[in-house]
Amino acid sequence: MKNRLLKNFPAKLFALLVAVLLWMHVATEQKYEHTYRLPLLVEGLPEEYVVGVPLPDSLDVTLKGRGKDLIKLFFSEGFVVIDARGMKLGERFIAPSETSLRLPDDSFELVGFKRTEPIRFFADRYANMEVPIESRLVLEPADGFATIPEKTTFSPEAVILGGPERLVRSVKSVKTVADTFRNLHENTTFAVSIDQESPLLQYTPREVSAQIFVEPLSTVKIEDIVVRVEGAPPYTTLQLTPATINITFTGTTDAIESLSRENIQVIVDYITDESKLIRPVIFHPSDIKVVSTEPTHFTFSTP
């Protein structure tokens, strides 16, 4: 059986190839429909204008043609074009049509666009403006150190925005990309990118230098801070024990040096249960932290 199959094998193989080629020729000569995703381009917009609203990157277009022509389009360029020649300042809505197609040749028949609504187009004047930079950097210091985000500086201090006038005038600032810097223990400089929030805007420069300031932490212990009792009725016989607290704070040198008793309040709520331990509530400037307290809890007792 095997020998019979192999007999005259070259001739059989040739016949099979001829049959496949004939089938492919017949198949590719027949007409089919296929949907392509074609890039959208703008042509002929006057030099004094720019595109003022986001446009779709591409449109889905269904074409009809011979199989071999449809296959050919996979390997050549086709586009949907917005003809902006002669456009003036303002908004218009454009419905793509057969005249919007730029195809390798005229052997294709347009069946239709998948998008049914017109494309919103706005021709705007070009403008540029300098805007400040906002930081979106997360700064995590090493143990024993503190970062000072409010001292972070950028070089250059501002970015020049260019693009559609209406959009440029609405921007008050630009932001850095969100990024985290960890284990910081000394002043340092990093290159950071500007977040491009709109594809219609150009950012100059796209990258800036961020100078980050880091200080070793300082500590201070403030003793005998009077604790205030909230909610005690008049003439109560219960007394807070003890009546004062010692607190150790940590923070940057500037924050610690500016700390005073007037910036600190310690409060406990009045209760009549003499056996219950009460944790104090401590109010202090936000740029320092409490390390420890002496004592950690209070009680009310009868003198």
What's the topology of domain 22-117?
RNA Polymerase Alpha Subunit; Chain A, domain 2 (2.170.120)
The structure's pTM equals: 0.67
Q: What is the 3-state secondary structure (H, E, C) of the chain?
A: CHHHHHCCHHHHHHHHHHHHHHHHHHHHHCEEEEEEEEEEEEECCCCCEEECCCCCCEEEEEEEEEHHHHHHHCCCCCEEEEECCCCCCEEEEECCCHHHEECCCCCCEEEEECCCCCEEEEEEEEEEEEEEEECCEEEEECCCEEECHHHCEEECCEEEEEEEHHHHHHCCCEEECCEEEEEECCCEEEEEEECCCCCCCEEECCEEEEEECEEECEEEEEEEEEEEEECCCCCCCCEEECCEEEEEEEECHHHHHCCCHHHCEEEEECCCCCCCCECCEEECCCCEEEEEEECCCEEEECC
Query: Residue 60 pairs with which residues in a beta bridge?
Result: 37
For residues 245 and 229, the answer to whether their CB atoms sit within 8 Å is no
β-strand pairing of 207-212 with 188-193: antiparallel
Residue 12 pLDDT exceeds 50: no
Q: 191-195 long-range CB contacts below 8 Å, 24 or more apart?
A: 192/137, 194/133, 194/159, 195/136
Residues 36-92 have pLDDT tens digits of: 899 999 999 998 999 999 999 999 999 888 877 787 787 778 899 999 998 899 999
Alpha-carbon distance of 4 to 108, in angstroms, equals 48
Residues 187-199 have pLDDT tens digits of: 999 999 999 989 9
Q: 15-19 long-range CB contacts below 8 Å, 24 or more apart?
A: none
Alpha-carbon distance of 32 to 70, in angstroms, equals 8
Share of the chain above pLDDT 90, in %: 63
Confidence bin at 16 (pLDDT 50/70/90): very low
pLDDT, the chain, mean? 87
* 90 Cβ contact list (under 8 Å, min separation 6): 122, 123
Domain spans, the chain = 22-117, 126-216, 218-301
CA distance to 4, 191, 193, 204, per residue, from 199 (Å): 68, 22, 15, 14
For the residues 115-142, what does the mean pLDDT come to? 94
At residue 36, the pLDDT reads: 87
Confidence bin at 5 (pLDDT 50/70/90): very low
CATH topology identical between 126-216 and 218-301: yes
For the residues 83-106, what does the mean pLDDT come to? 90
Closest CA to 241 of 268, 281, 264, 263: 268
Overall size of the chain counted in residues: 303
Pick the CATH number of 126-216 from 2.170.120.40, 3.10.510.20, 2.40.440.10, 3.50.50.60: 2.170.120.40
Alpha-carbon distance of 46 to 48, in angstroms, equals 6
At residue 10, the pLDDT reads: 57
Residue 282 pLDDT exceeds 50: yes
Residues 153-164 have pLDDT tens digits of: 999 999 999 999
For the residues 7-33, what does the mean pLDDT come to? 53
Share of the chain above pLDDT 70, in %: 90
What's the topology of domain 218-301?
RNA Polymerase Alpha Subunit; Chain A, domain 2 (2.170.120)
Confidence bin at 105 (pLDDT 50/70/90): confident
Give residue 65's identity as a one-letter amino acid code. Answer: G
At residue 1, the pLDDT reads: 44
Residues 108-126 have pLDDT tens digits of: 889 999 988 999 999 999 9
Residues 218-253 have pLDDT tens digits of: 999 999 999 999 888 887 778 899 999 999 999 988
At residue 3, the pLDDT reads: 52
Residue 21 pLDDT exceeds 50: no
Range with the poorest average pLDDT among 100-114, 136-150, 255-269:
100-114
